Amino acid sequence: MHIEVMIGHRIREFRKARRLKLEELAKASGISKALLSKIENAKVGSPISIYSKITSALGVSLSDLFREGEEKGSCAIIRKNERKRVSQGQAKHGYQFESLGHKWPDTNFNPFLLTYLPRPKSAATPHFTFEGDEFIFLLEGELEMFYGGEIHRLNPGDCIFLNGRVPHGGRAVGKNKAVALLISIPK
């Protein structure tokens, strides 16, 4: 199943289970009813920050959108070829997300593999917000992290903790991609 279809179905299931109308969830999420309808019908992929707003309004974790409904066992292994790409359209923002925790239900955090693609310096400075905290550990490449009005340069092995409510984003430095482990903890 294509990831946008799965996310759309899950959002609709959670919304209907809570007996919310489309416009009620849209208002509670701070997005338009039209965008929510497009997301539920897999007509559009959205940045992770939009999905975060929706899951906050639904009272579920972000990882619940990617979960395959398995019961929690003693452990879960996600093989490299089993990662779930969160959205195909995020490359235009300069990054791609892959869910690493979709097989582990009822967790308080969401692990992702983030790939920042090379972008020209003239590209807009990324600035996203998230209702919670984030931990980013750089695995490869070099990364410029924009946080509030500051710019921080990270090298492999460096990590940064962020208050997700402060506008932030990253950009690969140079001609190579940067790959990071992101752990988001919704509030």
Categorize the per-residue pLDDT at 88 as very low, low, confident or very high, splitting at 50, 70 and 90: low
The model carries a pTM of 0.63
Distance in angstroms (rounded) separating the CA atoms of residues 72 and 105: 6
- Tell me if 101 sits within 8 A of 62, measured CB to CB: no
CA 163 to chain centre: 15
As a whole number of angstroms, the distance between CA 171 and CA 94 comes to 7
Per-residue pLDDT, 108: 73
The model's pLDDT over 93-148, given as tens digits with 9 standing for 90+, comes to 667 777 777 666 666 788 889 998 888 778 787 788 888 899 999 999 999 999 98
pLDDT at 73 exceeding the cut of 60: no
Asked if the model's pLDDT at residue 92 lies above 70, the reply is no
Range list of β-strands (E), 14-109:
84-85, 95-99
Which one, of 75, 11, 80, lies nearest residue 40 by Cα? 11
What element of type H or E holds 40?
helix 33-40
Please give the distance of CA 125 from its chain centroid, rounded to a whole number.
18
Q: Which pLDDT belongs to residue 159?
A: 93
What domains can be seen in the chain, in order of their start residue? 3-65 (1.10.260.40), 80-186 (2.60.120.10)
Going by pLDDT thresholds of 50, 70 and 90, the confidence category of residue 49 is confident
